[in-house]
Amino acid sequence: MEESKKDPPDIELKESGKSPTTPSFKVDMAISALPMEDEEICDVDSVPTWFTPKRLLVIFCTINLLNYVDRGAIASNGVNGSIENCTESGICTSGNGIQGDFKLSFFEDGVLSSAFMVGLLLFSPIFASLAKSHNPFRLIGVGLSVWTLAVVGCGVSFDFWSISICRMLVGVGEASFISLAAPFIDDNAPPTQKTTWLAIFYMCIPSGVALGYVYGGVVGEHLNWRYAFFGEAILMLPFAILGFVIKPLQLKGFNKSKIHTSASQSPAVHVSEGEQVLDGNTQSVTISSAKTSNKLIISTGFRSILVEISKFWDDLRVLLVDNVYMTNALGYIAYNFVIGAYSYWGPKASYAIFNMANTDLWFGGLTIFCGIFGTLAGGFILDRIDSTISNAFKLLSGATFLGAIFCFTAFCMKNLYAFLFLFGFGELLVFATQAPVNFITLHCVRPPMRPLSMAISTVAIHIFGDVPSSPLLGVLQDHIHNWRATSLILTTILFIAAVIWCIGIFIPSFDRFNEDSDIGVSSGERSNSRPLLDGITAERSTKETP
């Protein structure tokens, strides 16, 4: 009886031409021991039961809000402060805040507003690449930990260079979140509410900056500007810890089984000197020596890197010759140039022009109101007039042109309340562009190109938009010493953005959102790809279906 039980395996091995001593058999057995993709995806027990899409949306929005509270706080008069001022009669007023304590010029002060972009732009693609082999939720925990430590470093900084380096590290921490939050929102939002969820997420940008003005003003006035950074670190610390202590979650596009396999494949598969595993496929390779084997591994890896770089440049060239995409991006750069400078210099300019009491509270409250209602109004209006690329360009150019007129007129006013009314109405119109501009970015390219189109757009508006705008405006103010004139010159760039977007109306375009994906990916494969948090019950029923 015992011998008869051993016969079937022997027979199978003879028929397949393999024996337990053959190299290919050993590799096959090792590969079969690896976790299968279906088993990983259907591992319901590994999903934290209290996590739902809405709860994660709240967490992501809170983190995003704190990111932008930090940007608003460092721009507020309470934290940013002012330099020492001396009148013609020789009476001097001591400086305060960061600018006063470190004796910064307006150019150096403007550099602080953009320093975090260095870390953000350099490390966003790095975190996105690491997500292929590491759990994205854990990467967010690492990034938020860096963010928390960097913010504490801002609070204990002692000169311009120390706080500049800490601001760069703040960008490194933010990169982990920014590069991984958008896929979650897009994948887990209900199909009929995707725009609403994205609008809620984007509202955290103006709302966070505005709250930062208020927060920085209150803390800076009653305590010290350093305590504003310490408070931010305390608020972010629980979310950094959360990324490590809870069971990790997966986002669509980052296959759990691939992460697990890549982490365990090396120790699981024991290949002798004459064997090799290339590109995930088991191959039997006859090699004369271990040295030759290592060279082959390096050569294969190098070729894979070159292939990926080649694919990236091919996709990038497609975007650069797309007239709709480039027109939208150029308009967005000009728009972001103004908004970035407004967000950083707005409170200081308003105080200097109108001698406004509680500038941070007034400017922050106005931006919160206009940011929320303007962003929602832009998306609502585009849906009402039919969501097409041409209509989106019409809304962009019209809202930006009218908003520029109101903002320009506001800075010509001498009455404080006239300024607040006109500038508030202008902000309401300007913020209405958030939904249309992202709609064009997503819908003018094929589905496989959407992640790259969003990434290139984000990099472009920062590198050519808000990163240089604050320092350049600081240089302009250093030369003319007139905040009213400086603000008027800045606002004229909004008219340029409106003209660029107006050109987009006459460019032939069509919505490519529903175009088929890359060749080789069937509709069945796409339909089977579901967000992790979307219907665990559906996964169970699918597994039970014969």
> What's the pLDDT at 260?
45
Q: At what angle do helices 323-354 and 434-443 cross, to 10 degrees?
A: 160
> What's the pLDDT at 371?
82
> What's the pLDDT at 326?
94
d(CA 11, CA 17): 10
d(CA 155, CA 228): 8
HSE-CB for 492 with a 13 A CA cutoff: 6
Query: Position 328: which residue type?
Result: N
CATH architecture of residue range(s) 307-513 = Up-down Bundle (1.20)
Residues 34, 264 contacting (CB under 8 angstroms): yes
Q: How many CB atoms lie within 10 A of CB 501?
A: 30
> What's the pLDDT at 298?
66
d(CA 241, CA 261): 26
> What's the pLDDT at 101?
84
Instruction: Give the torsion sign (CA, 485, 98, 371, 361).
Output: negative
Pairing of strands 281-283, 276-278: antiparallel
> What's the pLDDT at 263?
42
Pairing of strands 85-86, 92-93: antiparallel
Over residues 471-500, the pLDDT tens digits come to: 888 889 888 889 999 999 999 999 999 999
Q: List the chain residues with pLDDT less than 50.
A: 1-47, 252-255, 257-288, 517-532, 534-546
CATH level 3 topology of 49-82+95-248? Growth Hormone; Chain: A; (1.20.1250)
Q: How many CB atoms lie within 10 A of CB 356?
A: 18
HEC sequence for 176-223: HHHHHHHHHHHHHCCHHHHHHHHHHHHHHHHHHHHHHHHHHHHHHHHC
> What's the pLDDT at 451?
64
- The structural domains of the chain, with segments of one domain joined by +, span 49-82+95-248, 307-513
Helix H or strand E encompassing 277: strand 276-278
- Nearest CA-CA partner of 80 in 482, 336, 351: 351
- Rounded (10°) CA dihedral 59, 176, 328, 400: 50
> What's the pLDDT at 489?
94
Tokens of 48: 């934290």
Q: How many CB atoms lie within 10 A of CB 244?
A: 14
Tell me the percentage of the chain whose pLDDT exceeds 70.
Answer: 67
Q: Exposed, middle or buried by CB within 10 Å (0-12, 13-18, 19+), for 225?
A: buried
Over residues 91-109, the pLDDT tens digits come to: 666 777 888 888 888 888 8
Alpha helix positions (H), 413-535: 416-431, 434-443, 450-461, 467-480, 483-505, 523-527
d(CA 185, CA 119): 24
Helix, strand, coil % in the chain, rounded to nearest 5:
75, 0, 20
d(CA 223, CA 243): 31
> What's the pLDDT at 86?
67
Over residues 360-392, the pLDDT tens digits come to: 677 777 877 888 888 878 877 887 787 788 998
Any long-range contacts for 292-301 (C-beta under 8 Å, 24+ apart)? none
DSSP 49-111: TT--HHHHHHHHHHHHHHHHHHHHHHHSHHHH-B--EE-TTS-EE--BHHHHHHT--HHHHHH
Beta-carbon contacts of 76 under 8 Å, excluding residues fewer than 6 positions away, are 212, 213, 214, 215, 216, 217, 220, 347, 360, 364
> What's the pLDDT at 193?
66
- Nearest CA-CA partner of 212 in 341, 419, 64, 26: 64
Tokens of 49: 């039961």
